[in-house]
C-alpha cells in the first residue's frame, strides 16, 4: 500500500497558497514604490516653509510693502493703523500722551520730536502726512513773517484794537469789530489759526493780518470737561451751538464717557475740520 505524503495539498489549498503569495508580492511591490516616490507631505511641507519665509519677510517690511499708503493726518493715528505703519507701542504711546494734552503735531519734525520715530521710518511715512490747509498756510506765514520781522514789528493779536486791525487791507470797521468781539467771546486767541474762524474774513486777508498780528501772549483759560459738563456749559464755547451741545451730551449718555476728543467726530454735524481748535478748550 502506497504511503500518502503529508506535504501534498489538494487543489483548493494550492489555490489559497497561490493567492497568499500573490498578495505578499503586491504588498512588497507597493512598499518599494511608495518608498521610491517623493512624499507629497514632504513636498507640501517644503512649500509651507517657503510661504512662511515670505510671510516673515512681509511682516518685517509691512510698512514698506504690505500696507497701501494713503494721505493721512498723523494726529489721528489709532493703535491698529500705527502698528500697520510700523510704529512701536512706545512711539504710539508718546503720540497719544501728547494728544491727551489737547496738543497737535503740525509738522514732520514735530511728529518725530514727539514720537521719537527713526529717520528711516519717518522717511517712508512723512510723504503721506496731510496736515490741515490752515496749518500749511500758517507755516508759510510764519516763514514770511520771520523774513520780514526786521521790517515789520509784529503786534499781539490779543491786545490789538479794532482801529489797529483796520490797518490791514481788506479789514474795515465791520470786520475789525467782529474780530474783537470774536476774541472776547473766546477769552482770547490761543493760536493764530483761530483768526480763520471769524465769519466773513477771507483767507487771503487773514494771511495778510497774520504778517502783522500774531498770538504773542497766550491767555489762561478754564477748560470744559466734556465728560462732566452740561449742554448749557458746553454751549458757552463759541464753536458749539446749543443743539450740538445737546448732541454731545446725548452721545456721552448713550456710549459712556469720552476716551478721546476724536470721538466727537462721530456726532452728526460736528465741525470736524475745527476739532483741533475746539479741543484746546476741552478736557477729558
Helices within 61-169 (DSSP H only)? 79-85, 89-100, 108-115, 119-125, 133-148, 162-165
**Measured distance CA(93)–CA(115) in Å, rounded:** 8
pLDDT at 210: 86
CATH number given to 133-214: 1.10.150.320
**Measured distance CA(198)–CA(194) in Å, rounded:** 7
**Measured distance CA(198)–CA(179) in Å, rounded:** 6
CATH number given to 224-283: 1.10.150.280
Helices within the chain (DSSP H only)? 11-36, 40-60, 79-85, 89-100, 108-115, 119-125, 133-148, 162-165, 173-186, 203-212, 231-234, 242-255, 275-278
Going from the C-alpha of 229 to that of each of 142, 182, 236, 256, the distances in angstroms are: 36, 22, 11, 14
pLDDT at 278: 83
In which residue are the cell numbers 493703535 written? 79
In which residue are the cell numbers 478721546 written? 260
pLDDT at 29: 74
Each of the 284 residues of the chain gets a pLDDT tens digit; together they read 444 545 455 666 666 666 777 787 877 777 777 666 655 444 444 446 666 665 555 555 554 444 567 788 888 888 888 888 888 888 888 888 888 877 788 888 888 888 988 888 888 888 888 877 655 555 555 555 555 444 457 888 898 888 888 888 888 888 989 998 988 888 888 888 888 888 888 888 888 888 888 888 888 888 888 888 888 888 888 888 888 889 888 988 888 888 888 888 888 888 887 888 888 888 88
Amino acid at each position: 500500500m502506497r504511503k500518502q505524503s503529508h506535504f501534498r495539498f489538494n487543489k483548493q489549498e494550492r489555490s489559497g497558497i497561490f493567492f497568499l503569495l500573490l498578495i505578499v508580492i503586491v504588498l512588497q511591490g507597493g512598499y518599494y514604490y511608495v518608498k521610491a516616490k517623493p512624499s507629497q507631505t514632504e513636498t507640501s511641507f517644503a512649500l509651507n516653509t517657503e510661504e512662511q519665509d515670505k510671510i516673515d519677510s512681509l511682516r518685517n517690511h509691512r510698512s514698506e510693502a504690505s500696507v497701501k499708503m494713503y494721505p493721512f493726518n498723523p494726529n489721528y493715528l489709532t493703535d491698529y493703523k500705527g502698528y500697520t505703519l510700523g510704529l512701536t507701542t512706545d512711539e504710539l504711546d508718546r503720540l497719544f500722551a501728547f494728544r491727551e494734552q489737547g496738543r497737535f503735531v503740525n509738522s514732520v519734525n514735530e511728529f518725530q520730536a514727539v514720537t521719537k520715530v527713526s529717520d528711516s521710518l519717518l522717511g517712508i511715512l512723512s510723504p503721506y502726512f496731510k496736515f490741515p490747509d490752515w496749518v500749511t498756510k500758517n507755516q508759510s506765514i510764519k516763514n514770511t513773517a520771520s523774513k520780514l520781522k526786521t521790517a515789520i514789528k509784529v503786534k499781539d493779536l490779543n491786545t490789538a484794537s479794532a482801529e489797529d486791525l483796520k490797518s490791514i487791507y481788506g479789514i474795515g470797521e465791520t470786520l475789525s469789530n467782529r474780530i474783537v468781539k470774536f476774541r472776547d467771546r473766546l477769552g482770547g486767541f490761543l493760536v493764530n489759526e483761530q483768526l480763520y474762524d471769524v465769519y466773513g474774513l477771507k483767507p487771503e486777508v487773514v494771511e495778510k493780518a497774520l504778517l502783522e498780528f500774531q498770538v504773542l501772549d497766550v491767555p489762561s483759560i478754564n477748560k470744559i470737561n466734556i465728560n462732566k459738563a452740561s449742554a448749557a456749559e458746553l454751549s458757552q464755547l463759541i464753536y458749539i451751538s446749543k443743539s450740538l451741545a445737546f448732541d454731545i451730551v446725548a452721545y456721552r449718555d448713550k456710549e459712556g464717557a469720552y476716551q478721546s476728543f476724536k470721538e466727537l467726530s462721530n456726532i452728526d454735524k460736528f465741525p470736524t475740520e475745527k476739532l483741533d481748535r475746539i479741543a484746546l478748550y476741552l478736557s477729558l
